[in-house]
A and B are shown apart, each in its own frame.
Chain A
C-alpha cells in the first residue's frame, strides 16, 4: 500500500544488464560530462535491446543521475534512436537526391509491396522495420540501403527479393 502512498519512478526503471553497465561505464571514461554519456547510453541500450523503452530511459536516468526529460529530448531528436520497438532487421532506406535520381522510388514501392509496410512500420512477422535515412554517402552505387549494419548497393527489384529472403532466414548476412 505504501507503493501508492509515495509516487515513485523506480517501479518503471528496468535493471540495466551487466554488459550495458560495463559499456556505459566505459563511455564515462571517454567523455568529461554525464550528458554526453547519456546519449551514448541510449545507443548502448538500443544495441542490446533493439530499441529504447520507457523503462530503459528511466534506468539510464537513474544510473547516470540525469533527468529523463534530458534523455527524451535527445532521444527524440536523433534519427537513429528508436523509441518504439523495431523489427529484427531495420532497413535504412536512402531516399536522398542521388538515389532518387537513380530510381529509388520504384525500389521503395517494391519493398512496400513485398513486405506490406511503409516507412515507419514493422512487418507483421516482426522481421523488418522500414525507415528512410538521409543520404548514405554511397551515391555512385545508388540506389542503396542498409539492413542492420550491412550496406546494399545498386539495388534492383530482383536484388530486393533476394535480400528479403536471406534476412527472413537469418538476422544478419555475414
Chain B
C-alpha cells in the first residue's frame, strides 16, 4: 500500500520523473478513472467525502470550498482554477519540494480540481524565485498536453483545460488568495473583501477556486486509490498525509511526508534527529512564521489541526521553526515582525502603520534600549492587529508569534529594558 502518495516519486538527487515514468507509477490514473464516466458533481462529492482539508494554512474542507462555485445554466460560463504556489511563509519549504520533485502530480491534481468546478483555464501562481520549479512545471505541462491530459476534449470527456504558469513579481501578501487574484490580474496585490468570495466573484470577477499546491497534490491519490485508502493513511482525526518540515538548529533539518497525527516529538527526534549538540529546545513555531509559539511541554501533542489548536497555535503549513536556548527569542520575533511589516500591502491601517511601530520597538529592545512603555505598546498591538481588526490575515498572523512570544518569553523582554 502506498503510504507516501505526495512524495512517492520524489528523489531530489535526480531530475523529476518524465511523463512516461510518472504514468508507469499510476500517474494520471485518476484522470483515466474520472474519464470513465464520472461527472463533475461526482468528483466534487468524492472530494467532500474524502475529508481533504486545505493545506495552505487555513485548513478549510476542500470539497466544501468547491461546492460554493455556482453551477448550472445561469452561472457564468467562465470559471477559473488557480493554484496558490506562492510559497513565502517564513520557514515553509514544502511546495517547492512537490513542484521541483514531481510536477506531474500537481498537474494531475489541477485537472481533477478544474474538472470538478468546470474551469477551462487554470493558472499556477508561482513564486518568481522558484526558477527550478518553473522549468519543471512548464516541461510537465507540455508533456501532459502532448499526451492529451490537457488541451481540448481531454480523454474524450468533452472537457477542455489549459494550464498557464504565472510567475509572481514577488510579495508575501500574494499568498492571501484574494490578493493573489489581484496580482494575477496585474493589479496591486491588496486583498479583497470577503464576501464576495472568489468562488462567486474571483479572477476577473468570475467564479474561481484557489487551492494550495499541497492540497491539490492530495487529489490524484484519492481518485486513484480511493477514499478508504486515503482515510486509512492518518494516525489522527484528519485524513491523508501531510508534508512536515523542520528548520532551525536540529541535527537533520528537512521535509517529510507523514501521516497526520504523529506526535511532534516523533517528528523532531525521529526525523529531525533532535537538537544539535549542546542545544536545548526553547520553543517552536509549528506551522510557519504566522503561528503561535509552542513550548517543549507541547512535544507530545499530535501534529494535527485540532491538537495544535488546543495548544493555542495552528498546524498551518506544518513546517516548524525551532528556537533554541542560545538564540534570542526577542531577536527572532523581531525578525518576523520586520518581515511582516515589509510585506504588508499597505491597505489597512493596523497592519500598515501598526507593524512598523512594532518593528521600531523591537529595534530598540534588540539594542537593549527597551522601555516599559514600549513593552506595553507591544502588548496593545497584539489585540489591535488581531483577527477581525484588520482587512486580511497578514497582521493577525504577525500577532501570533508576537502575542505568544510576549507571553512565553517575557523575561527575555524584561532583560532588554533599559532601567
Contacts and interface: CB of A to CB of B under 8 A. Distances in A.
B188 interface: yes
A89 interface: no
A39 B186 contact: yes
A134 B394 CA distance: 14
Contacts of B183: 39, 78
A33 B188 CA distance: 15
B91 A98 contact: yes
A137 B255 CA distance: 11
B247 A140 contact: yes
B204 interface: yes
B153 interface: no
Interface string B283-326: 00100010000000000000000000000000000010111100
Given A101-B332, A140-B253, A79 B170 contact: yes
A140 B129 contact: no
A40 B170 contact: no
Interface in B240-269: 245-249, 253-255
A104 to B, nearest CB: 9
A169 to B, nearest CB: 21
Contacts of A141: 253
Nearest to B188: A77
Contact of B254 (A33, A38, A102, A140): A140
Nearest to A81: B169
A38 B185 CA distance: 9
A139 B247 contact: yes
A3 B186 CA distance: 34
Given A33-B204, A137-B96, A140-B254, A100 B164 contact: no
B289 A96 contact: yes
B77 to A, nearest CB: 13
Interface in B205-258: 245-249, 253-255
Interface stretch (B37-45, B64-72, B335-343): B335-343
B14 interface: no
Contacts of A30: 164
Interface residues of A, number: 41
Nearest to A96: B90
B89 interface: yes
B88 interface: yes
Interface centre among B186, B253, B254 (most CB of A within 10 A): B186
Given A96-B335, A135-B89, A102 B186 contact: no
Given A33-B186, A81-B169, A101-B327, A134 B339 contact: yes
Contact of B90 (A36, A37, A38, A98): A98
B178 interface: no
Interface in B172-213: 172, 183-189, 204
Given A79-B169, A137-B127, A35 B132 contact: no
Task: Place the interface of chain B in its size category.
Answer: 35 or more
Contacts of A139: 91-93, 245, 247, 253, 319, 321
Nearest to B185: A36
B371 interface: no
Given A36-B186, A40-B186, A140-B246, A134 B96 contact: no
Nearest to B174: A78
Contact of B255 (A40, A73, A140): A140
B245 A101 contact: no
Interface in A81-134: 81, 92, 95-98, 100-102, 133-134
Given A33-B186, A36-B184, A139-B93, A80 B172 contact: no
Nearest to B245: A140
Contacts of B189: 77-78
A20 B25 CA distance: 41
A10 interface: no
A13 interface: no
Contact of A35 (B92, B172, B186, B249): B186
A80 B131 CA distance: 13
Closest 8 CB pairs of A and B: A78-B169, A139-B247, A79-B170, A80-B170, A140-B253, A36-B186, A39-B186, A35-B186
Interface of A: 30-40, 42-43, 73-74, 77-81, 92, 95-98, 100-102, 133-142, 146, 149, 151
21 contacts: A35-B185, A74-B188, A78-B183, A78-B189, A96-B91, A97-B285, A97-B335, A98-B91, A101-B249, A102-B248, A133-B170, A134-B172, A134-B339, A135-B91, A137-B88, A137-B95, A137-B129, A138-B93, A139-B92, A139-B93, A142-B247
